[in-house]
Amino acid sequence: MSILLKKCAFCGSEIEPGHGWMYVKADGTILYFCSSKCAKNYIKLGRNPKKVKWVRKKAKGAKVKGKGN
């Protein structure tokens, strides 16, 4: 038994079945989001995930460039 986990289009984390959002653009592109936070950042605020701090933190895990604290 295998379950295909979809990846969030914004933060890249895996989405469990029955969770998250599916967003279909006018051109037919299907995007999956793990949370409304990711969906709003992408759709409403039009942010680039590469430029968002908390996305980079999630992707890198413990290895984060801090502010020098």
Residue 55 interacts with Zn ion (CB under 5 A)? no
User: For residues 54 and 64, which CB has a smaller minimum distance to Zn ion in the complex?
Assistant: 54
Residue 8 interacts with Zn ion (CB under 5 A)? yes
| 33 Cβ contact list (under 8 Å, min separation 6) | 8, 9, 10, 15, 20, 21, 22, 23, 39, 42
Residue 10 interacts with Zn ion (CB under 5 A)? yes
Binders of Zn ion among residues 25 to 54 (CB under 5 A) are 34, 38
The site for Zn ion (CB under 5 A) is made up of 8, 10-11, 34, 38
